Structure formats: C-alpha cells, structure tokens
Amino acid sequence: MLETNVKKINSSYFDEKTERILASLEETRENFWNLDRPSANFLNMLIKINNSKNVLEIGTSNGYSGIWILKALEETKGRLTTIEFWEKRQSVARKNFELCADNVEVEPKIGSAILILEDLEQEIKDLKRDKFDFVFIDANKKEYIEYFKIVDKILKSGGIILADNILTHYEKTLPYINTLFDNLNYQSQILEIGAGMMISRKK
C-alpha cells in the first residue's frame, strides 16, 4: 500500500524537460543533500495552497528544491530569493532554474545565510523590499535557531516557515523546534515526511 502511494507521488507531473532534469538531479541527490521527491512535492503544494508569492529559500544547493518552488511560483505568479554560500552550486542552480522555469524571477544570493538574512532585514526596514510570505529552511542545521530570529522579523503575518531535517538532525534542530513550539505567535507541526519537516504558520 505504502509502496503504491510512493509510486503515485513519483509519477510525472511537470513538462518533459523539467521531469528529465529532476530525474537527473535525483540520481546525484546524496552528493548535493537534496530533498527527496515526496518532500519536494509537499513543498510545491504548500506554496500553491498558501498562494505564496514572495518565497525565501535558505540552502539552494544545485537547485533541486528550487525547481519545485519555481514550478509553484509559476502558478502563484511569485518570485524566489535563494541563499547558498557555495558559488559553484549557486551557478549550477541558476542554470537548472533557467532550463525549468525561465519565466519566474529568481534572486540568487551567494554568502553566509545569517549575513544575507541581516541584509534582507535591513532592506525590508528601509522599505526597499517586501516581507516574505514563505520561507524554506534547509541549510546549516545548528543555525536554524539563528535563522529563525531574523526570519521572524522578515515574515509576513500569515506566512509559513517550512524547515527540513527536523527528525534526521533532531538534536541540532532541537533549539529551533522548542522555540517554535513555545512561541504562541506560531502554530507548528512536525511531519514525518522525508527527513522530517516542521511547518510553522505565523499568526
């Protein structure tokens, strides 16, 4: 039964070119720490369900999850800002984005996530950019709590935070988990999907 469902999740959904690129990235998934397909499918659906238009990703890698985000943003007519400190990975991701969704605006940011988040916060304070309505956290697990301290300030009311590797890196992400569950401004739930994802909605 479970196997049947997993196969259903894995059936082709996007255009042929996108599916070909996703399939080739899935072959090297372990090297680039990409999401598995069910988690990526969930991420894509969540952006569409929430009609999110201004998405921030922390941890681009080679762009696998980014492609799924862009495919959702094609529908919601949104834009993606995505952070990665490894320049080579960010440039591979950019090529993958162009191949799969060249109609969606992407703002790649190269550098340390915390420093870039601080810059984004300042730009929002200076009214140079809008707050985000969806943040996907998938970079350094020990830093999740530090990301949250800034993300909280740059996320709109009603916005969503989705954090990956909550169960596979439980000890490292525990300060993040506890902070979110203790914060009454957020409603949170851990989902046993892929590496374990925590979804949090800001009031």
Ligand X SMILES: C[S@@+](CC[C@H](N)C(=O)[O-])C[C@H]1O[C@@H](n2cnc3c(N)ncnc32)[C@H](O)[C@@H]1O
Q: Which is nearer to ligand X, 139 or 198 (CB)?
A: 139
56 binds ligand X (CB under 6 A): no
**Backbone φ/ψ region at 196: left (φ over 0), alpha (ψ -120 to 50), beta:** left
**198 contact partners, CB below 8 Å, separation of at least 6:** 161, 162, 163, 166, 173, 176, 177, 180, 188, 189, 190, 191
Total of residues contacting ligand X (CB under 6 A): 18
The one-letter code for the residue type at 160 is: I
For position 47 contacting ligand X by CB under 6 A, the verdict is no
- Residue 84 contacts ligand X per CB under 6 A: yes
Q: Which helix (H) or strand (E) holds 175?
A: helix 170-182
Q: Interacting stretch for ligand X, rule CB under 6 A, among 13-21, 27-35, 72-80, 154-162?
A: 27-35
Q: Under a CB-based contact definition with an 8 Å cutoff, are residues 107 and 83 in contact?
A: no
Please identify which residue in 20, 48, 79, 89 interacts with ligand X, judged by CB under 6 A.
Answer: 89
Q: Which stretch binds ligand X (CB under 6 A): 15-23, 139-147, 150-158, 182-190?
A: 139-147
CB-nearer residue toward ligand X: 6 or 203: 6
> For ligand X, which stretch binds (CB under 6 A), given 15-23, 45-53, 82-90, 99-107?
82-90
Q: Based on CB atoms, which residue is closest to ligand X, 28 or 157?
A: 28
What is the CB-side half-sphere exposure of residue 55 using CA atoms within 13 A?
34
Q: Strand 197-202 to strand 186-191: parallel, antiparallel, or no bridges (unpaired)?
A: antiparallel
Give the number of C-alpha atoms closer than 13 A to the C-alpha of residue 25, restricted to the C-beta side. 29
Residue from 120, 137, 139, 151 binding ligand X (CB under 6 A): 139
Binding site for ligand X (CB under 6 A): 33-35, 59, 61, 64-65, 83-86, 89, 112-113, 138-140, 143
